């Protein structure tokens, strides 16, 4: 069954393409490289031994999207393509709303026009804000988003839910990701942040590689075991596998309209300092870091309750924090080697 993967050259999308192929699906990538790199396609080719069908197009372009749906006979879609930088979304809210909402609406409309029912949507634990009780379940109330980016995730969830409640012929699952980290164990694909990384693990690996002088830990006066923030860090390959399980679940549902939400995390939290120490231990190196002020907008602690995804989808995280950090470091080292060999 052919599956459209919007944003399939991105971090989570590219890892999902591999898992889809392993599970017998036929992924078709759509990407405009606005926040990804063509080199990802070469990495996929090296891992898989063949090319993956690919369209360079913007999923906000109705004609392009329609032409792709006319040509391919999709059984479903996974919608990763979106702007995702929290800080940038605060500076450019209209760009974020226009891009992330339009692409979701257009994809839903095009799927309906072509009779494609199954949609997996990339959502985020950001919709929970700082919850009162931990771990968060799917029933934990969403809080007003801290950023336009977070709000686009909440609004897109609502758009899909409302369409399903109105009996549109759509079956959809929103996956609320916790903090995806790591890279493919081959070291051939991984996270490719543009500019200075905002996220913790790419900043750690770039510091270890000497690209950044020092990592700043944003605050150590939180109410957590060592004072630094707690997150639920999930290996990107585990997260990718959750998309395969979501598609299988959608296939198995007999009703024509269906919507559900699943947390995708490990179920336990680690502090920022634990991540740093684990990174140092497993990779046998010392990281230059210091404690700085809190970052505005950060929540103190959040981690997932994963009973629902375990029981209903039969999915659970398998990889450890240590494996994630080894894989992230292997990827960063390969990336630097590639850059050196290109510049030589
Ligand atoms: C952020 C987004 C979230 C998004 C996710 C994508 C916010 C508020 N949330 O999550 O919506 O889905 O990225 O991956 O931005 N840290 C440092 N030093 C650094 C970088 C990070 O100490 O240089 C700390 C942060 O303060 C935080 C933790 O590391 O406590 C994780 O940060 P990050 O990787 O940016 O993810 P989130 O902020 O949790």
Type and span of the H or E element at 237: helix 236-252
Which phi and psi angles does 82 have, rounded to 5°? Answer: -170, 155
Q: What is the pLDDT of residue 96?
A: 97
pTM over 0.95: yes
**Atom 20 in ligand 1: which residue has the minimum CA distance?**
200
Active-site option among 149, 177, 259, 303: 149
58, 100 Cβ separation under 8 angstroms: no
State pLDDT tens for residues 23-78: 999 999 999 999 899 999 999 999 999 999 999 999 999 999 999 999 999 999 99
Residue 149 among the catalytic residues: yes
123, 156 Cβ separation under 8 angstroms: yes
The binding-site residues of ligand 1, defined as CB within 6 angstroms of any ligand atom, are: 86, 124, 126, 146, 150, 179, 198-200, 203, 215-218, 229, 231, 272, 295, 297-298
Q: Where does the chain show beta strands of DSSP type E?
A: 2-6, 26-31, 54-56, 74-79, 118-124, 171-177, 179-181, 215-218, 230-231, 233-235, 258-264, 270-271, 289-292
3-state secondary structure (DSSP) of residue 259: strand
What distance in angstroms lies between residue 304's CA and the mean position of ligand 1's atoms?
A: 16
pLDDT more than 90, % of the chain:
93
For all residues of the chain together, what is the average pLDDT?
A: 96
What distance in angstroms lies between residue 256's CA and the mean position of ligand 1's atoms?
A: 37
* Nearest CA-CA partner of 177 in 329, 309, 86: 309
* Nearest CA-CA partner of 336 in 213, 187, 227: 187
Q: What is the pLDDT of residue 343?
A: 66
What distance in angstroms lies between residue 83's CA and the mean position of ligand 1's atoms?
A: 16
- 237-268: string of b/e by CB count within 10 Å (b at 16+)? bbbbbbbbbbbebbeeeeeebbbbbbbbbbbe
Q: What is the pLDDT of residue 190?
A: 98
Quick one: average pLDDT of 156-170? 95
State pLDDT tens for residues 294-305: 998 899 999 999
Quick one: average pLDDT of 202-226? 98
């Amino acid at each position: 069954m052919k599956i459209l993967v919007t944003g399939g050259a991105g971090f989570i999308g590219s890892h999902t393409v591999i898992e889809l192929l392993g599970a017998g699906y036929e992924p078709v990538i759509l990407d405009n490289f606005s926040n990804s790199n063509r080199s990802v396609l070469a990495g996929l080719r090296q891992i898989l031994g063949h090319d993956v069908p690919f369209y360079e197009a913007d999923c906000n372009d109705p004609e392009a999207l329609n032409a792709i749906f006319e040509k391919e006979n999709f059984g479903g879609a996974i919608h990763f393509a979106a702007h995702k930088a929290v800080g940038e979304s605060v500076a450019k809210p209209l760009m974020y709303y226009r891009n992330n909402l339009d692409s979701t609406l257009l994809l839903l409309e095009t799927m309906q026009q072509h009779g494609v029912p199954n949609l997996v949507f990339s959502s985020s634990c950001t919709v929970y804000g700082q919850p009162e009780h931990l771990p968060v379940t799917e029933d934990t109330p969403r809080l007003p988003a801290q950023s336009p980016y977070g709000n686009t995730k909440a609004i897109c969830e609502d758009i899909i839910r409302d369409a399903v409640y109105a009996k549109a012929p759509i079956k959809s699952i929103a996956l609320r990701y916790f903090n995806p980290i790591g890279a493919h164990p081959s070291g051939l694909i991984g996270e490719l942040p543009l500019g200075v990384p905002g996220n913790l693990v790419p900043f750690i690996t770039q510091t270890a590689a000497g690209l950044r002088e020092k990592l700043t830990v944003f605050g150590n006066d939180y109410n957590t075991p060592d004072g630094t923030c707690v997150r639920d860090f999930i290996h990107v390959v585990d997260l990718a596998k959750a998309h395969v399980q979501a598609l299988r679940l959608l296939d198995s549902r007999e009703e024509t309209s269906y919507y559900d939400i699943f947390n995708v995390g490990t179920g336990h939290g680690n502090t920022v300092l634990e991540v740093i120490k684990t990174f140092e231990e497993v990779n046998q190196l010392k990281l230059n870091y210091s404690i700085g002020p809190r970052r505005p907008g950060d929540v103190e602690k959040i981690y997932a309750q994963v009973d629902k995804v375990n029981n209903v989808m039969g999915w659970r995280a398998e990889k450890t924090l240590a494996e994630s950090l080894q894989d992230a470091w292997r990827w960063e080292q390969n990336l630097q080697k590639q850059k050196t060999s290109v510049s030589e």
